[in-house]
Amino acid sequence: MKLQIQKSTLETDLIKACKKQNARAQRLLYEKYASSMLGLCRRYVRGDMEAEDVMIRGFMKVFSKIKLFEGKGSFEGWMKRIMVNEALGYLRKNKAMYLETDIDVADKEPDFGMLDSVLEAKDLLNMINDLPSGYRTVFNLYAIEGYAHKEIGELLGINENTSKSQLSRARMHLQRKLLEAEQLLEKKKINQDGKKA
């Protein structure tokens, strides 16, 4: 008979120990979540060192505010909100986020169903990372983190329509990049097929 330890019990014990400011528990929590939280920070902040700084500041906030976590909902989700807020604070402080002006209607969305690309996930993530800062921030908040436009507007201090506009423009930008990548792949295929004939 195998002894199975429940993940939730271990995480709960780790959180309790962190609430008591246990350094070992804090280190274990950091080691458990550092890579995923760094990935989250990299989606918002360009530059590895800057993203790591944001993540470290985020963990410092996690440890200083961990007593506020009541165990309702996902602990990882709670941490992600702190990391996102820390990244947004960094962008605001460094004026790295330039949002374009409002538009009245931003409901025209590109059709991604037409794309039949063989790009890998890392290629798409690189395309997202190459978006202008304002586009990238809104795209990450909406498409990846799951925030509504109203929430994004409150987080960034912008109008809800500006959020919709930024998302629409980010999607159009990504669609254009995906079409370019697909055309490159097709040219390569045609060239390879031509050489074989």
Domains observed in the chain: 7-93 (1.10.1740.10), 112-196 (1.10.10.10)
Q: Return the structure tokens found at 159.
A: 């109008």
Only one residue has tokens 């460094």, namely 94
User: pLDDT tens digits, the chain, 197 residues: what are they?
Assistant: 454 444 457 888 999 999 999 999 999 999 999 999 999 999 899 888 999 999 999 999 999 999 999 888 899 999 999 999 999 999 888 876 555 444 443 343 433 444 444 567 777 788 888 888 889 999 989 988 889 999 998 888 888 999 999 999 999 998 888 888 777 777 777 777 766 65
Q: Distance (Å, rounded) from C-alpha 29 to C-alpha 18? A: 8
